[in-house]
């Protein structure tokens, strides 16, 4: 409604993100995520510090990549997002702001990335978890039914409120709030990557 979603980006990036998300879900239990989590945590902290300073984020690209670069980055974005169990917002907002897009458009369009990641990623996790022992009751593969219903319901109810709030904030404040959230995610992933080392030391 606020014209903050670039549907051209969703149309051209969507197929690559879907393919990456499906592959990420299906391969989730085959690849150790500790190293990737550590790399993401470091990169996210760097981006968060830059955003927290306010002002325009210095673009790395003149615009969003196209061609083979789009296929590779889009597929990688979907793969890593579904692999780590996060929506497209984290990587999508970072990618778009580093490509010179305004933060409000980046947030709105990256929400569409989440739709391209969620369904194929969940399907991949269903396939990967079939027959695995020790899953909670009412689970289909690695997807737990009650957990899905609870999270989906709350998300549908609160997402419009978040969108209205975001458009009531200045660019600088929205960047700083996103930087704070990105820092929390980075610290959590960094801890998950390093905790096996501490467990081994004990």
pTM: 0.71
**What average pLDDT does range 115-133 have in this prediction?**
86
H or E stretch including 4?
Answer: none
Are 156 and 101 in contact, with CB atoms under 8 Å apart?
Answer: no
pLDDT in tens, 176-195: 888 888 888 888 878 877 77
Token pair of 202 as six digits: 């004990």
**What average pLDDT does range 87-107 have in this prediction?**
83
Q: How many CA atoms lie within 13 A of 169 on its CB side?
A: 17
**What average pLDDT does range 68-83 have in this prediction?**
89
Q: Report phi then psi at 144, rounded to 5.
A: -90, 125
pLDDT at 95: 87
**DSSP state at residue 60:** S
């Amino acid at each position: 409604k606020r014209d903050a979603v670039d549907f051209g980006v969703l149309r051209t990036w969507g197929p690559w993100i879907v393919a990456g998300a499906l592959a990420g879900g299906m391969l989730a239990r085959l690849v150790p995520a500790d190293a990737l989590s550590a790399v993401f945590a470091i990169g996210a902290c760097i981006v968060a510090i830059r955003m927290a300073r306010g002002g325009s984020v210095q673009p790395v690209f003149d615009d969003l990549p196209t061609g083979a670069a789009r296929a590779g980055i889009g597929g990688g974005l979907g793969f890593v997002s579904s692999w780590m169990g996060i929506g497209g917002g984290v990587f999508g907002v970072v990618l778009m702001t580093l490509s010179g897009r305004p933060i409000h458009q980046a947030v709105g369009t990256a929400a569409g990335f989440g739709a391209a990641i969620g369904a194929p990623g969940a399907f991949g996790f269903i396939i990967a978890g079939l027959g695995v022992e020790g899953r909670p009751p009412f689970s289909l593969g690695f997807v737990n039914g009650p957990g899905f219903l609870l999270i989906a319901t709350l998300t549908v109810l609160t997402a419009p409120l978040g969108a209205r709030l975001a458009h009531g904030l200045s660019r600088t404040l929205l960047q700083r709030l996103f930087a704070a959230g990105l820092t929390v995610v980075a610290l959590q992933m960094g801890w998950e990557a390093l905790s096996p080392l501490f467990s081994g030391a004990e």
